Amino acid sequence: DGGITQSPKYLFRKEGQNVTLSCEQNLNHDAMYWYRQDPGQGLRLIYYSQIVNDFQKGDIAEGYSVSREKKESFPLTVTSAQKNPTAFYLCATRTGVTDTQYFGPGTRLTVL
Amino acid sequence: GNSVTQMEGPVTLSEEAFLTINCTYTATGYPSLFWYVQYPGEGLQLLLKATKADDKGSNKGFEATYRKETTSFHLEKGSVQVSDSAVYFCALGGNTPLVFGKGTRLSVIA
C-alpha cells in the first residue's frame, strides 16, 4: 500500500516533554515538509527537506527540530521550547519532477 | 514575494447551488496553481491543478481556470452536494514549498 504514513493519529503528552512525530513515505519522493494547522486556521510551514541530510527552516521553526537521515523518513520533534504545541501536524512530500505536494493523514498532538 | 488571497468563509450553500470560491495570487514568473480540499480530521487532498495560463483544471465536477490577466484561479462547481462540505485551499507552486491561502470552509445543507 503506497503513500504517506503519519503515526500515531492522536498523541497526548505532558507539558515540558519532548515528543517526536513520525512521517514515512514509500513514494520515492525527494522533498518532504512539515506543516502546523491550528483550529480554523491555514497551514504554516515548520521545516522542509529537499534531499537527504539537508533541511531548511520554514516560517515557524522555533521549538521544533527535524532530521532526514533516510529518503523515506522525516521525523519532527516538538521540544519543550515550543510554547503552544497543541495543534494538527501535517507531513507532505513532493517529487523532483513536479511541484505537486501530497499530504499524509496528519497527527493531532495535545499537550496537557 | 509570492502570495495567495482567497475569499474568507464560511460559505454556506443549499444542495445543488452554484459554488464559487475566489482565489487571486501574486507571483513572479508563471507558477502552477492548485486547489486542495481538506475533510474534517484529515490531511489535504489535491483537487485540481493548472500549470500554465488558460489551462483549466477539473475534477469531481469542480473546475478552475488559470487566468494570467486577472491573476486568478477561482474554484467553481455547478451543483454542490452535502458531501462537498470541507475546507478548500488555493495554493501557488514553484521551486519552493507551495504557498497556501488561508482556506475557505464550505458547508452544504440538504
Does A1 score more than 70 pLDDT?
Answer: no
**Residue of higher predicted confidence among B8 and A25:** A25
Select from A55, A100, A108, A110 the residue whose CB has the most chain B CBs within 10 Å, as the one to mutate to test that interface.
A100
Query: Chain B residue with minimal CA distance to A105?
Result: B43
SS3 A95: coil
**Any bridge partners for residue A36, and if so which?**
A44, A89
- Residue B44 has its nearest CB partner, among A58, A98, A103, at A103
CB contact B101 to A (< 8 Å)? yes
Average pLDDT over residues A72-100: 93
> Taking CB atoms and an 8 Å limit, are B98 and A98 in contact across chains?
no
pLDDT in tens, A37-77: 998 888 999 999 999 999 999 999 999 999 999 999 999 99
pLDDT in tens, B29-84: 889 999 999 999 999 999 999 999 999 999 999 999 999 999 999 999 999 999 99
DSSP-derived letter for residue A17 is -
For the CA atoms of B85, B86, B90, B93, the dihedral, rounded to the nearest 10 degrees, stands at: -130
CB B73 within 8 A of CB B66: yes
CB contact B2 to A (< 8 Å)? no
CB contact B1 to A (< 8 Å)? no
Given pLDDT bands bounded at 50, 70 and 90, which one contains residue B95? Answer: confident
**Residue of higher predicted confidence among A99 and B47:** B47
CB A111 within 8 A of CB A85: yes
Which amino acid is residue A60, in one-letter code?
A: I
